[in-house]
Amino acid sequence: MEQEFRKIETESRTLVRETSGVKELEELRVKYLGRKGALNLLLKKMGALDPDERPVWGKKINALKRELEDTIRSRREELSGQTEDTGNFDPTLPPELFRHPGRNPVISVLEEVSDIFVSMGFGIAYGPDIETDYYNFTALNFPEGHPARDMHDTFYIKGSDRLLRTHTSPVQVRVMEKQPPPYQFIAPGKCYRRDTIDASHLPSFHQVEGLMVDKDISFAHLKGVLDEFARRFFPGETVTRFRPSFFPFTEPSAEMDIRCTICSGGGCSSCSGKGFIEILGAGMVDPEVFRHCGVDPDKWQGFAFGMGIERMAMLKYGISDLRYFFQNHRSFLEQF
Ligand code: DAH
């Protein structure tokens, strides 16, 4: 009995684990659990045992039966995800329940960010994904050959002066050269950079750009608007800070950080020990940009900002790898 039981136990466990088809699995179920299957035969043989040994073996055999039933059931669920061409389709089977996969969080965050600015009086402007070198760089005060262009690993289109825009900032120029100030709009859209794909880089991503220009707009307005945005976008008590930075199209330039929501500023692995996490770039529009657009910098001032939407979504939902956004895995999307 002992020997026979052990043999069935190890053999059935291995075979069930290793099956690669639903049909084969059903054959194993019949072989071990069927009416004339190995375990029922073993139960029948118990009659030959000593009376006090019978309940011990009865328990063991029934436990193995239950275990096999469970593993076969879960293995069947795993395998039924695969398509097996059995040649007979049964139209009377109930359909698989439709589960809504949820929205891609990048799109939800893009809309949420846009809604916050729209509620503060910003309009929405769009520009083309394929840009000229002039709008993407020159008009934004990146002179030809200037090292600041290296910050953007650009996809150039062979044989033309066109490229895939590396940021949404060229929309500032397109709007300003077409109509007179004042301006107050955001420009959401896709951007492209020649990055190697990893947890924090993708060749295509989304940004929201913003521009506010009027008479007497100061850095205080920039701080007020962006602070308000951060408080509305991130739940809980949001603490912000501004650090000096450099962008060719703003002067002065700054980066805005929020206090790390994981460690509350103490320093942890999420914020690389800094206590703060960068969320966007901003600054006062450089007079040189105004000149390129025919706007008089002595009469008009303003601020601009730009943020990466994937980054905002990662921070909001605690997602550690950018690639999840574009793999379309149900288990990921169903969470949103
Ligand atoms: N265009 C910048 C980038 O992609 C982001 C940015 C920074 C936009 C500062 C702005 C700004 O409008 O003022 O790196």
What pLDDT score does 129 carry?
Answer: 98
Residue closest by Cα to atom 3 of ligand 1: 167
Question: Do 213 and 299 contact (CB within 8 A), yes or no?
Answer: no
Q: How far apart are CA 238 and CA 309, in angstroms?
A: 18
Nearest-atom number in ligand 1 for the CA of 306 is: 8
Residue closest by Cα to atom 6 of ligand 1: 306
Average pLDDT, consecutive stretches of 10 residues, N- to C-terminus, the chain (336 residues): 91 89 89 91 88 90 91 84 66 77 90 98 98 97 88 92 97 98 98 93 96 98 98 93 97 96 86 93 98 98 98 92 91 87
What pLDDT score does 82 carry?
Answer: 59
Nearest-atom number in ligand 1 for the CA of 167 is: 4
- Cα(282) to ligand 1 centroid in Å equals 6
Domain map (residue ranges) of the chain? 2-80, 105-325
Residues whose CB falls within 8 Å of the CB of residue 320, separated by 6 or more in sequence, listed in order: 199, 314
Cα three-residue angle 242-245-246, rounded to 5 degrees = 145
What pLDDT score does 84 carry?
Answer: 53
**DSSP assignment of 297-324:** TTT-EEEEEEEEHHHHHHHHHT---GGG
- Residues in the ligand 1 pocket, defined by CB under 6 Å: 167, 169, 209, 247, 250, 281-283, 304-306
Nearest-atom number in ligand 1 for the CA of 250 is: 13
Residue closest by Cα to atom 7 of ligand 1: 281
What is the dotted CATH code of the domain comprising 105-325? 3.30.930.10
Q: Which residue has the tokens 């109509």?
A: 179
- Cα(124) to ligand 1 centroid in Å equals 17
Which residue in 223, 110, 210 sits closest to 167, CA to CA?
210
